[in-house]
Structure 1
Amino acid sequence: MEQFLIAIGVAILLLMLTSLYRVVRGPTVIDRILGVNVIGTKTAVLIIIIGTLSARVEMFIDIALAYALLNFITTIAAARFYQRQSQPVLPEVEEAEPAPSAPPTVEHPKTTGEGSHAA
């Protein structure tokens, strides 16, 4: 079982390299933010694997959960910061006086003089 967990850990480390490539190369800021998020998620999994190998899972689970929560909050904060930075600032526009509105006209139906009963 120990050999299997070590193999999984090495595989996750190799997958982290692909995410690191995405962080370095981009091409956009969102790609970089998501790359860091993926690396953080894989790090939390590696922390749990290390805890399993050291027979102290209960301690490492707490560390992994705290790390995952910090990773999530950081990703949301970075995405909101980027969203605010990328929105164009609109110039202030002075409000003009509203145009005077004419009173609404109501058209009345024409009556024929015979009443409302038809024969």
Structure 2
Amino acid sequence: MGFPALKKLVEVFEDNDQVKFIAVQTVFDGYKFNTREKLHENQLNYSLKIPMAHETGNPDTDEIPEAMSNYRSGGTPWTVIIDPSGKVVYNDFHIKVEQAVSLIERLIAKRN
């Protein structure tokens, strides 16, 4: 999910305390361009008021970032949706905003 789609999704749930967002930039190539500063610039450009993290792999050893390994992501943008119990319920390369909204709404309804 790219920044424009993430912004839309955050806006849908901005008043819902049951839904939390975090963006993690996992850098496995393009180290000169995919910087913490660029991430912050994108956060400001899209007015995203969510926590954002930046994790790099090791360009010398081709080691990927730990978050990519832990969540078995295969590129960017990658979306992971975790239910209230900590179970990963979505983990894939692309998701449409409408699909994500529907899934999150079902998780909220299940919890309530």
Larger RCO, structures 1/2 (Cα 8 Å, 6+ apart): 2
TM-score by structure 1 length? 0.28
Q: Which has the higher strand share?
A: 2
Larger Rg belongs to: 1
Superposition TM-score, scaled by structure 2 size: 0.29
